[in-house]
Structures are given as C-alpha cells and as structure tokens.
Amino acid sequence: MFHHVKELQFNARVSKPDVRFAKLLLEQFGGPNGELKAAMQYFVQAFGCRKAYPAEYDMLMDIATEEFSHLEIVGATIQMLLTGVNGELKNAADESDLTKMLDGTAAKETYINDAMINPHFFLVSGGTPTLTDSVGNPWSASYIMGMGDLTADLRLNVGAETSAKMVYENLLKFTDDVYVKESLRYLMTREVAHFQMFQAALENIKPNFPPGILQSDPRYSNKYFNMSKGNDFKGPWNEGKSPEMGEDWQFIDNPQQRVEDTNGLLDEEAKGTDRTEKSVQKDNKTLSKERKEKVEKANKPENGVMSWSVYEEQVEAQKNNDNKNK
C-alpha cells in the first residue's frame, strides 16, 4: 500500500531555467543508474525475502519507497529547469509570444540549439521530464539486477548506490545553480547512507560468503594467476591471506606452464587452505538444509491458507478468541 504525500522529501529549488542541465539530469530520472532503476530494483528484490528475512524486507521496501521520493525530486527539478518551454509550446494558436521570446537571430539560434540538445523536450514531451537517459535512450527493465539470493542482491545494491553516487558527483560539476547543487548534494548523500545500510544488512546475515549456497573449489579459490608480464604488483589480493576465507594466496607466476603441467588444471592440488573436497560437500549440504528449512518454515501456510499479510492470521486469532469467550 502506498500513500503519496504531495510535498517533496527535500525542498528542491532552482534559480533559473536551464534546458541544457535538465537534459543532463535526465540521467538520474530514466538512466541505468538513476532513481527509478534503484526504486524498482529494491522493490522487486524485496519480494523474495518477505517471509524468510522480514527485517531485510522492511529495509528494502523503505529504501525502494525513498528512491521513488528521490525520483520525484529529480523530476520536479527537471520540470523547474524547463520553465518557459512548456508554456511557449502551448501557444499553438498564436505565435506572437513565441516570436517575442525568439526576438532576434541570436535568440532563435539559442532556441534551436536547445531543441537539438534534447528535441524530446520541445517536440514530444511538451517540456516535461521523459523516462530516458541524458541521450534519449528509453528506460529499460534490463537495468534491474536481482539474483533471488539476499546476500547477492545486497552486494548488487552496494554497487548500484556507488554508481548513482558517482553520477551525482559528476552532475555537480556542470551546474552553477546553488539551489540545484544543494538538491544534488542531498541526493548524493542519501546514496552514501543507503550504501551503508545495505552493507550493514549484508554483515547481519551469517554466513554471507560466498554469495549463494555452494562453496568454492579449494583447488582454485586462493590462486592468483599472473596473467600479464611487466611491472608485477603485490598486495592483499595476491599475498598474505584472502579477506573472506582466510586462505593463503598462491601466486602463480607462469599460468601457461601451470596449466600445461596440471592437465589443464584438472590435476591442480589444494594448497594454503584447510578446506578439502570432503569439507566443501559437507558445508554445501549443511547450508542447503539450513536455508531450505528457513524458507519453508517462513512460508508455511497458516490454517491451510497462504497469506502475504497478516490479515488471515488476525481473523483466525479473532475467531479463536471469540470461541474462548463463549
């Protein structure tokens, strides 16, 4: 259930119209890293964890709804930046106002240039925001990413918030409007906040690595293949212990020779790890059973009825209470 409050979450303002920046800002309205993408991604992901992970479901729905609020802020800002375009285009019966606005060759050339920057504003949308990115590509559901596994989805969302934050950071460079800047800074800051929320939610799920259920093959999980020659660098990604599983990194300096010596890695041995194929298969079964039982228990029908909300349970509880009072 959604309830729309007509005031914006943040008081968006602009000091003057700016068709050019309105075009750039479309990137966060209908682009692949924009607010609609984020809202729909988190909204869709939430369905899969409604029963098994009710706390994370609540978080996903709250953030998804806030992203719709951010979409409204972006749309309102674009509309204000297009002030003047909408009204002039409605003057279809009399060209006098438009002629006045385009008084002089320079003014006409400016108008034509603005139209060419984004013809949709002038020819199709009538001076309103369009669900496209900044170069006119229509919004697509293909932007949405979700794997149906909460730990994987949360990692995807951390990446989504990172990309959106960077877009706002770049947008800030292309406007001098102090009011627009304050809205962009607010929206950018909320991306940082959501990043932390998703990260915290991921850490709250144990175990959360690797994403999914099946464990990795111990023969290959800690191998670093030096696939380029030249200035080779060492770091925590190829020396010391791996950050998630605590295995010792194995640096393979000559990958081609290693492949040839091990029959295409089929004969590769596990080194620098306590994990074995036997322990991996045991962990696979243990985690599979745990996740299966958790989901089935959470989705078990109450009184022979599957109910998304608690209405059915409340009705049954009321019946039982009434019977006790008779």
- DSSP bridge pairs for 259: none
Q: Binding site annotation covers 161?
A: yes
Q: Binding site annotation covers 320?
A: no
Q: Binding site annotation covers 149?
A: no
- d(CA 199, CA 108) in angstroms, rounded, equals 51
Could you tell me if residue 148 is left (phi over 0), alpha (psi between -120 and 50 degrees) or otherwise beta? Answer: left
Residue type at 24 in one-letter notation: L
Q: Binding site annotation covers 323?
A: no
Q: Which of 162, 168, 173, 160 is closest to 32 using CA atoms?
A: 160
Q: Binding site annotation covers 103?
A: no
- d(CA 129, CA 148) in angstroms, rounded, equals 32
Distances (CA, A) of 253 to 233, 238, 259, 272: 12, 11, 12, 16
Burial label for 30, CB within 10 Å (0-12, 13-18, 19+), is: buried
Distances (CA, A) of 186 to 168, 231, 311: 10, 42, 38
Q: Binding site annotation covers 84?
A: no
Q: Binding site annotation covers 254?
A: no
Q: Binding site annotation covers 248?
A: no
Distances (CA, A) of 266 to 73, 269, 296: 55, 9, 38
- d(CA 304, CA 74) in angstroms, rounded, equals 46
Q: Binding site annotation covers 228?
A: yes
Yes or no: say if 85 and 127 are a contact pair by the CB < 8 Å rule: yes
Q: Binding site annotation covers 4?
A: no
Annotated binding site for Ca(2+): 58, 62, 226, 228, 230
Numbered residues of the known binding site: 35, 58, 62, 67, 70, 161, 194, 226, 228, 230
Binding-site annotation: residue ranges for Mn(2+): 35, 67, 70, 161, 194
